[in-house]
Chains A and B, each alone.
Chain A
């Protein structure tokens, strides 16, 4: 099943961060609040937007949740969560 997670770029270094239910932020997609309902997501997003010091341009993404496994639906967000697929670039 798909759920919604709120994400954005950390102001301090631009890394992807994901919102927990208590409004704090984590680096791992799997530790974020994955909510079912759009109104829950909207509430998290509103809270994120008021946290400009921590996060830039927050938005919601769709994820699939299977047990402990959480994976972004869009390929862009998969790469964003996991880092460049060419980490050893040189």
Chain B
């Protein structure tokens, strides 16, 4: 993984010292909250309902075991013993005291981490496929490109005050596990005539105006990565709306100009800078890629058959976990373990300090000391020898991180909702907890198959409800929590936005409504091979409306 050089370290250390001074002045009353707010937001520090919230950047979700231990230490020492994995592959702490934040940032800096650009109208953490480097369908590891984008975008003086926040995702695989089609810029690594480059997608996003990206370039040669996205940012920075924050994202500009109009402006801007110092040389690319060299894998026999055989053994718990939470690795003899942070009845994405320490230990003993946070609020041990899967499963079970539910309806994304968030209209976590408890039946979950459920507590859509096969959106109706059901969304390569199925349900009816939706699917699908989203696309909303509202 990328290691800071002296300049990186100096930048981060100096930012800690600067913020320590700013916090001191705020606490001594020398600056007002209005003056302090933009300073704290530039360091990832929000004010939420009960406390400050610190969002720590995890570039493309990748962590060393040392960093994971530091995150555990921070949770234990400065917070309430846990953190929360986010949909930008970051981690949030819900209870830091302002006076402690400079110390927390110093602790982070000691392991090459920070909270810079995790808030504010700037380029946020660039996300990637969480199976980067190990997926069988991968064309190329996207993380070196993410790191190059990270270095380019960090403290980029031209893009520190964009019209709104800006999110970039990169995938190097044919399957889209990084939701690139709902990002401001989505980059897909593709090949053309033996050359690697990018398909460039722009103008995706969720929130109150959800959009799937529009393609503006079939093939961008690798060397032009930075100049082209700089051109995109320049057009957005110049023409994006600043008069209305709800119309300030790039998707609104792309709507206004049309994909062709937007492309024309980008290409014109790009023509001015494509041969500038932004050109990515082979030497620079190889320098960064060198940080992502494969670990020293052992030469082992193929283990696909052995894993399949183990999954059919008499130990059903282990077998279920192998089927759901273990994925095939590109290197023979190795497997990818998805660590479920969705225990039955738990808060999706929450991890305790003890769990983080346990994960760090497991990473060191079983996965070359690395962990990846997923945008679906889980974690990945990417390089586990298949012959040692049982040991990993046993340890994860002890840690409460082995719920065999990856890809099922209880592997939910949920935002913090009204229990924590100042923007939320309704709670998300209690709904997620009730759903996971109600549907805690392995046979039923597996019969439902791959099915994504995503829950947001408000229209800002941090829980990605628009792109859940089933989405739940919390709303406030005259002071009471209600929940809208949306069906048919997808965040993958077949990205689509879900549609609201009808009137919202009160809190005490939403889980039953979900059960009705699932029951209809089970009853009427052509076969278990017809996925929920395929079924919805075939039959449309009508039968669901009839089932949900016929008696009303």
Q: In the complex, are the beta carbons of A57 and B33 less than 8 A apart?
A: yes
Residues of B469-492 at the interface with A, using a CB-CB cut-off of 8 Å, are: 476, 479-481
Interface bracket on B: 35 or more
Asked, given contacts A12-B97, A13-B52, A89-B429, whether A79 binds B47 with beta carbons under 8 Å apart, the answer is no
Q: Once bound together, how far apart are the Cα atoms of A16 and B49, in whole Å?
A: 7
Given known A12-B98, A52-B32, A85-B419, contact A74–B50 (CB-CB < 8 A)? no
Tell me if B418 and A11 are in contact (CB < 8 A).
no
A16 to B48, CA, bound (A): 10
A14–B47 touching, CB < 8 Å: yes
Binding site for B on A (CB under 8 A): 9, 11-16, 52-53, 56-57, 73-76, 79-80, 83-86, 89-90
Is the Cβ of A52 less than 8 Å from the Cβ of B33? yes
Q: Could you tell me which residues of chain B, from 338 to 376, have a CB within 8 Å of some CB in chain A?
A: 343, 346-347, 350-352, 355
> With A57-B33, A75-B480, A86-B433 in contact, is A11–B419 under 8 Å at CB?
no
Task: Please name all residues of chain B whose beta carbon is closer than 8 Å to the beta carbon of A57 when the two chains form the complex.
Answer: 33, 47
Residue from B28, B346, B427 within 8 A of A89 (CB atoms): B346
Residues of A within 8 A of B48 (CB): 14
A11/B346 in contact, CB under 8 A: no
**Does B29 reach chain A (CB closer than 8 Å)?**
yes
Interface SS of chain A: loop
Whether B257 is near chain A, meaning CB under 8 Å from some CB there, is no
Interface residues of B (CB under 8 A from A): 26-29, 32-33, 47-52, 82, 97-99, 343, 346-347, 350-352, 355, 400, 418-420, 427, 429-430, 433, 476, 479-481
Return B482 CB to nearest CB of chain A, in Å.
11
Q: In the complex, A75 Cα to B47 Cα: how many Å? A: 19
CB distance from B99 to the nearest CB of A (A): 6
- Please state if A90 and B347 are interface contacts (CB–CB under 8 Å): yes
User: Could you tell me if B350 and A89 are in contact, using CB atoms closer than 8 angstroms?
Assistant: yes
B427 close to A85 (CB less than 8 A): yes
Check if B82 sits within 8 Å of A83, measured CB to CB.
no
Taking A53-B27, A85-B427, A90-B82 as given, write out 20 further A-B residue pairs in contact, using a Cβ cutoff of 8 Å, ordered by the A residue number: A11-B33, A11-B98, A12-B27, A14-B47, A14-B50, A16-B49, A56-B33, A57-B47, A73-B479, A75-B480, A76-B49, A79-B49, A79-B418, A79-B419, A80-B50, A83-B50, A86-B430, A86-B433, A89-B82, A90-B346
Give the distance in Å from the alpha carbon of A73 to the alpha carbon of B476 in the complex: 14
A-B contact pairs, 26 of them (CB 8 A): A9-B47, A11-B27, A11-B98, A13-B52, A14-B48, A14-B52, A14-B97, A14-B98, A52-B32, A56-B47, A57-B47, A74-B479, A75-B418, A75-B479, A79-B419, A80-B49, A83-B50, A84-B419, A84-B420, A85-B430, A86-B427, A86-B429, A89-B347, A90-B351, A90-B352, A90-B355
The answer to whether A76 touches B418 (Cβ under 8 A) is yes
Residues of B within 8 A of A12 (CB): 27, 97-99
Nearest residue (CB) in A for B416 is: A84
Taking the closest CB of chain B, its distance from the CB of A72, in whole angstroms, is 11
Most A C-beta atoms less than 10 A away, residue of B33, B429, B476? B33
How far, in angstroms, from A52 to B25 measured CA to CA in the complex? 12
User: B residues within 8 A CB of A11?
Assistant: 26-27, 33, 98
Expressed in whole angstroms, the Cα–Cα distance for A84 and B476 within the complex equals 17
- Nearest Cβ in chain B — how far from A4, in angstroms? 17
The answer to whether B419 and A13 touch across the interface, beta carbons within 8 angstroms, is no
A73 to B478: give the CA distance in the assembly, Å.
11
Residues on A with C-beta less than 8 A from B429 are: 84, 86, 89
Query: Which of B29, B82, B355, B427 makes the CB contact (< 8 A) with A52?
Result: B29
Chain A residues within an 8 Å CB radius of B47:
9, 14, 56-57
Residue of chain B at shortest CB distance from A13: B97
